[in-house]
Structure 1
Amino acid sequence: MSATYRIQDEPRPGALGHLVVNPVFPLLSLLLAGTWLGVPWFILNGFAMGSPTRRKETVLAVLVIPGTLLLFQLLVLLLMEGVLTESSMPYAGVSAIVWKLALGYALCNLQQRSFALHEYYGGVVRNGALVLVASVFLGPRILEALTGGSTVLRVMLG
């Protein structure tokens, strides 16, 4: 009979452990490229790192898109009811950006703890700068291909 010792918050990298990046890169991709890249990258990074909070991270990441859609529908409803005007819509639209960035920041903070342990104990860490720079330049074309010109999809994934 052998007892196994396990630290509860210890990251346990899986087969994708060689793809781990600093959580700042998915956050920057969310800021600069959009939800279409930032959200999947956060999820992939959490699973690659073996983060003990990866389920919580996945739930937060998945909430970004439906939350943005609900916020968009609320703004359209307020516009139709006359609470908002056409000239105030761009200012109200900032709330969708704030929603995405707040969840991105929360995801970055959740992953940062596991990443620090992963890095400290010699885990492989990749540089995400190349993906980030490529997404900034190729992102508008990729977003156009993903949305097909739909305004609602552009708001959700942009």
Structure 2
Amino acid sequence: MQTYQIIDEPKPRAYENLVTDPLAIFFVCMFVPFLWMPPLLGKYWIPPLWLLLNSFFMGSPTFKKEVLIVALGTIGLFALFVGFGVLADRTDQELFTEQFAPYLRVLAQAGFFFTLYLIVTKQAGPYEIHKYLKEQAANQ
């Protein structure tokens, strides 16, 4: 007997019990660095990796789009740092550190959190369907 499957329906993997609400991951990634700073600049690479693993374990149909968002976000942040590096090279180094460095930090954080936000919004729909299907399976 064939069953009807919604096109956006997640196809859970073996580790589906590790799936977490993507919004909770987003908030954890925002507030944990105030209490603990992960080594090796972990506050920048752990959140996207965690969200991608969450999507993979959930079997999200938007997984490829999320990988693309992470790749574009990484390229964008790299371009931002290269652009500011070129600015620093062309201007006086002291002027750059005094005037432009705070903007670099703000823009880098904004780009990082915007990337995370895009991933979370892509993952929110499949997560709700996954949660609903899991509740339905538990009730049967």
Match in the other structure for 2:132: 120
Residues 33-83 of structure 1 show CA distances to partners (whole Å, capped at 9, x for unaligned) of 422210110110001111111110111123333322221111111122229
Match in the other structure for 1:5: 4
8 A Cα contact 1:30 1:101, kept in partner: no
Percent identity between matched residues is 30
Change (3 A) 1:29 1:71: farther
Unmatched segments (≥5 aa) in structure 1: 124-158
8 A Cα contact 1:49 1:118, kept in partner: yes
Change (3 A) 1:64 1:29: farther
Match in the other structure for 1:24: 23
Match in the other structure for 1:107: 119
Larger-gyration structure (1/2)? 2
1:87 matched to 2:86: no
1:50 matched to 2:59: yes
- Counterpart residue identity of residue 14, structure 1: R
Q: Higher helix share goes to which structure?
A: 2
1:67 matched to 2:76: yes
Return the alpha-carbon distance in structure 1 between the equivalents of residues 23 and 63 of structure 2.
16
Match in the other structure for 1:147: none
- Counterpart residue identity of residue 62, structure 2: T
What TM-score, normalized to structure 1?
0.68
- Counterpart residue identity of residue 54, structure 1: F
Match in the other structure for 1:134: none
What TM-score, normalized to structure 2?
0.76
8 A Cα contact 1:42 1:107, kept in partner: yes
Match in the other structure for 1:143: none
Return the alpha-carbon distance in structure 1 between the equivalents of residues 59 and 134 of structure 2.
14
Match in the other structure for 1:15: 14
Return the alpha-carbon distance in structure 2 between the equivalents of residues 30 and 36 of structure 1.
10
Return the alpha-carbon distance in structure 1 between the equivalents of residues 113 and 85 of structure 2.
21
* Count of residues in correspondence between the two structures: 122
- Report deviation, 1:92: 2.9
- Report deviation, 1:116: 0.7
